[in-house]
């Protein structure tokens, strides 16, 4: 829609950044402030203004480091467009196309950041409804930022959004049925987490109805069975995100963050060894002190390991 070098109001188009189902995005320069911005132009320009303003109003209501910032919505020469923060980096989709999988530490880092952004949106009564790798930008500094709120919805006084919309490989079972809720975003986070560690979403099929059928039956292979490098704690987090019933999933993104924070920095094998040693120490609990040296005696000890005296005073 826009060409390189074209001027649209105070913005100079530098190049195209890509195009999706709902709009095209361009890199532009704000000639007044001399900064780079991202300009998104919706494909459906014929919509009424209040409908075009839905996405920028939703995104403008959010102010978080893990969400791409909406700067303004404008109309020039009968063309409506949104002006957003330009994030220098790559989408998670592009990163996965090149790397296929990411290591556990990096995956935890990205999911934690994504969960922070989603948690902020949920606190503002907004569900994203289309969380997927192509809608996550990873900056050159390693910051994950959620973008594209074109399918998002406000859930102020409603239990769910009734429109059936989203990307099938990342959609929760209830989302297919037109009942997307905050818990549906939790499911999508689990799908992204799964893909980063395995190389593909938990259920892949060109037929959306087959994805729904398998999701409703819970036919998801635990990531640890595919990739032995996935720690059991991380495996449990992913499986809980992907639970069929919403009540069995995490109820808030903050719960994902907390569970990953507990695990973060711990080696899986070391954690298992600490558990074993803990059980051994429990069996070796003390019940009394030596009558001679007054040091604690191991459980069921016949003699003091420190002074050698018999447990029973002669």
Residues labelled as active-site residues: 130
| DSSP state, residue 74 | E
Give the Cβ contact number of residue 47 at 10 Å: 13
How many C-alpha atoms does 131 have within 13 Å on its Cβ side? 32
Distance linking the first and last C-alpha atoms of the chain = 99
| Rounded Cα–Cα distance for residues 103 and 97 (Å) | 15
Strand pairing of 153-154 and 126-127? antiparallel
Burial class (CB in 10 A: 0-12, 13-18, 19+), 269: exposed
Residues paired with residue 81 on neighbouring β-strands, in sequence order: 74
Can you point out the beta strands (E) in the chain? Answer: 7-8, 11-19, 23-30, 35-42, 70-76, 79-85, 89-91, 126-127, 136-139, 144-146, 153-154, 288-289, 296-297
In terms of residues, how long is the chain? 314
Give the Cβ contact number of residue 48 at 10 Å: 7
Closest CA to 202 of 222, 183, 184, 232: 222
């Amino acid at each position: 829609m826009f060409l390189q070098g074209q001027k649209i109001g105070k913005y100079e188009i530098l190049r195209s950044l890509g195009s999706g189902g709902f709009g095209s995005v361009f890199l532009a320069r704000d000639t007044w402030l001399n900064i780079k911005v991202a300009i998104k132009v919706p494909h459906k320009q014929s919509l009424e203004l209040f409908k075009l303003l839905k996405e920028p109003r939703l995104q403008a209501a959010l102010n978080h480091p893990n969400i791409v910032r909406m700067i303004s919505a404008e109309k020039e020469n009968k063309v409506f467009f949104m002006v957003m923060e330009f994030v220098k980096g790559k989408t998670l989709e592009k990163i996965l196309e090149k790397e296929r999988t990411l290591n556990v530490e990096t995956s935890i880092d990205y999911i934690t950041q994504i969960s922070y952004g989603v948690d902020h949106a949920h606190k503002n009564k907004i569900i994203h409804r289309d969380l997927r790798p192509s809608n996550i930008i990873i900056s050159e500094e390693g910051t994950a930022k959620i973008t594209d709120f074109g399918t998002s919805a406000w859930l102020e006084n409603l239990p769910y959004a009734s429109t059936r919309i989203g990307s099938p490989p990342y959609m929760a079972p209830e989302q297919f049925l037109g009942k997307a809720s905050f818990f549906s975003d939790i499911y999508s986070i689990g799908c992204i987490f799964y893909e980063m560690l395995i190389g593909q979403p938990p259920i892949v099929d060109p037929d959306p109805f087959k994805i729904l059928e398998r999701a409703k039956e819970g036919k998801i292979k635990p990531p640890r069975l595919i990739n032995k490098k996935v720690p059991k704690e991380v495996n449990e987090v992913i499986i809980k995100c992907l639970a069929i019933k919403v009540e069995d999933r995490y109820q808030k993104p903050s719960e994902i963050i907390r569970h990953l924070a507990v695990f973060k920095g711990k080696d899986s094998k070391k954690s298992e060894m600490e558990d074993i040693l803990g059980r051994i120490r429990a069996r070796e609990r003390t019940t009394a002190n030596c009558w001679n040296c007054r040091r604690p005696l191991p459980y069921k000890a016949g003699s003091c390991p420190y002074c050698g005296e018999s447990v029973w005073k002669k």
